[in-house]
């Protein structure tokens, strides 16, 4: 029997938020997201839906593409504690302006040396972005991110997926918004963004079967927007 494909599902607002996660942290959170019932009702996620998720070293090893399970477990326990300090920032347009919400990813982390697993508990505030999802959501298989080597590649994958549910897509986005979503270091100039973020991320996705191109758009003499065109594998 063919095993059920593990899916990462979240509201678009969360997919496009500033995650503040390193690659190791992103792996743990993403594995946990595959175990959340995104179709659960509000009542279910408030009262019944488990938000404490167990992640094994075997699962992390597979997602990270590591050969050694000891290395996977070492990464997991080192990362688990740093997750406690990580927040995400969600910006949403409302009738009166922009609503900004800052949320802690997890309320607790738990691990016991030698057991080969960690447990993370999602905060109450983040659950509405993970459950009772009916529309405007981002969904992709965890296998699409297996072995990814850069957090920028993973984030670009999420952005492109959130912008189109079809095999192909096109999007024009301001450089400022792109940098905000990718959490580009403030010290980076336009050339740095191209060489250190955009091109490497595209190259890694293209090795996975994507076809991606982009064009820099100018407002006056200044590069102000990016137009991205892509085809998923």
Instruction: Report pLDDT for 1.
Output: 38
Q: How is 214-230 classified by DSSP, letter by letter? A: EEEEEETTEEEEEEEEE
Cβ atoms of 109 and 83 closer than 8 Å? yes
Predicted local distance difference test score (pLDDT) of residue 46? 67
Per-residue pLDDT of the chain (233 residues; tens, 9 = 90+): 344 679 999 999 999 999 999 999 999 999 999 999 888 777 766 665 558 999 999 999 999 999 999 899 999 988 988 999 999 999 888 888 888 999 999 999 998 878 899 999 999 889 889 988 888 899 999 999 999 999 999 999 999 999 998 999 999 999 999 999 999 999 998 889 999 999 999 999 999 999 999 999 999 888 999 999 999 99
DSSP 64-96: HT-S-HHHHHHHHHHHHHHHTT-EEEEEEEETT
Question: pTM for this structure?
Answer: 0.90
Burial class (CB in 10 A: 0-12, 13-18, 19+), 16: buried
Residue 50, pLDDT score: 58
What was the pLDDT predicted at 47?
61
pLDDT at 30: 96
Predicted confidence at residue 39, as pLDDT, reads: 82
Pairing verdict, β 106-111 and 117-122: antiparallel
The pLDDT of residue 2 is: 40
Backbone conformation region of residue 155, classed left if phi is above 0, alpha if psi is from -120 to 50, else beta: alpha
Compute and round to an integer the Cα radius of gyration of the chain: 18
């Amino acid at each position: 029997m063919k095993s059920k494909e593990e899916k990462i599902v979240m509201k678009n607002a969360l997919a496009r938020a500033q995650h503040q996660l390193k690659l190791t942290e992103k792996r743990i959170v993403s594995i946990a997201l595959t175990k959340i019932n995104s179709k659960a009702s509000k009542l279910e996620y408030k009262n019944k839906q488990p938000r404490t998720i167990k992640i094994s070293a075997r699962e992390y090893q597979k997602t990270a593409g590591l050969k050694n399970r000891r290395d996977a477990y070492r990464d997991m326990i080192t990362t688990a504690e740093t997750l406690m300090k990580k927040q995400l920032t969600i910006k949403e347009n409302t009738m009166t302006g922009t609503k900004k919400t800052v949320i802690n990813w997890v309320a607790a982390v738990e691990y016991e040396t030698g057991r080969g697993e960690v447990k993370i508990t999602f905060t109450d505030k983040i659950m509405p972005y993970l459950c009772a999802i009916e529309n405007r959501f981002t969904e992709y298989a965890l296998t699409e991110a297996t072995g990814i080597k850069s957090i920028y590649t993973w984030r670009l994958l999420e952005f492109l997926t959130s912008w189109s549910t079809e095999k192909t897509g096109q999007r024009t986005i301001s450089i400022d918004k792109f940098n905000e979503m990718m959490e580009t270091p403030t010290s980076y100039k336009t050339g740095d963004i191209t060489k250190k973020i955009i091109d490497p991320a595209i190259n890694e996705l293209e090795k996975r079967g994507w076809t991606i191109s982009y064009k820099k758009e100018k407002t006056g003499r200044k590069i102000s927007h990016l137009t991205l065109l892509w085809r998923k594998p």
